[in-house]
Amino acid sequence: MTEAIRIILIGPPGAGKGTQAQRLRDLHGLVHISAGDLFRARIKDPNDPMGQQLKAILDSGALVPDAVTIQMIAERLQQADCAKGFILDGFPRSIAQAEALDAMLLKHNIKLDAVIQMEVDDDKLVERISGRYTCGECNTGYHDTFKPAQDAHTCDVCGAKDKFVRRSDDNAEAVRARLKTYYNQTTPILPYYEGKGMLKRLDGMASMDEVTAAIEAILKGPKDSPGKNPPRP
Ligand code: AMP
């Protein structure tokens, strides 16, 4: 019997949500849903009429309007692969989004297993973020200092050559704006989930392996925890 896992990762930019989500995806066969990645895919699509507006919002460090974001995530969650379980990385980021997500999950009788807050020191975030790059083909994340590609031109995972990309909002000014947005608009969802008894915190400053282990421990958690889904046949 397998059990679908459904979790939310919350944390400021650079907390390591994307890295951990990729690891959990690979460890448990889950779907990694990153709102930021979905927006970046739309920005890259020359036929998307909203692409340029989205780019301006992402570059400013502000949030995309809730209505657009909620619709995009609702469509993604309806895709068949999400039955395997999912990690929501960067959604919800506002109370309105958290409430909309609850309504979506209730409609499909789905329960979340955990909402995990990754706590990090603000002064380390700029350092972490400014070294980030990803493979433009398979989206594997790297870092100049903490996780460089073995060959500066080649993706370790898919072998793509000269496809590394850096995000245009990974600069000091945009990071400061993204942090402000996080504290003003996203941290209010923490008491929302705490009130439901779902919030778990972990030290996002620990090593990548330690953070993964901490998430695994949360997921193993007490077997009768209220958020657990019934086993899937
Ligand atoms: P991320 O890749 O998670 O760092 O997100 C990059 C940017 O995408 C954010 O700074 C926002 O502009 C936008 N974004 C990502 N997730 C959301 C969300 N849940 N609601 C609104 N905007 C978002």
Gap from CA of 128 to ligand 1 centroid (Å): 17
| pLDDT, tens only, 189-218 | 999 999 999 999 999 999 999 999 999 999
Gap from CA of 61 to ligand 1 centroid (Å): 8
Question: Which residue is closest in CA terms to ligand 1's atom 10?
Answer: 61
47 falls in which pLDDT band (50, 70, 90)? very high
Q: Is 178 in the pocket of ligand 1 (CB under 6 A)?
A: yes
Q: Average pLDDT, whole number, for the chain? A: 91
Ligand 1 pocket test target in 37, 38, 64, 115 with most atoms within 8 Å of CB: 64
Catalytic site residue 93? yes
DSSP track, the chain: -B--EEEEEE--TTSSHHHHHHHHHHHHT-EEEEHHHHHHHHHH-TT-TTHHHHHHHHHHTPPPPHHHHHHHHHHHHTSGGGGGEEEEES---SHHHHHHHHHHHHHTT---SEEEEEE--HHHHHHHHHTEEEETTT--EEETTTB--SBTTB-TTT--BS-EE--TT-SHHHHHHHHHHIIIIITTHHHHHHHTT-EEEEETTS-HHHHHHHHHHHHHS-TT-TTPPPPB-
Q: Is 85 in the pocket of ligand 1 (CB under 6 A)?
A: no
| pLDDT, tens only, 60-94 | 999 999 999 999 999 999 999 999 999 999 999 99
Gap from CA of 19 to ligand 1 centroid (Å): 16
Gap from CA of 36 to ligand 1 centroid (Å): 5
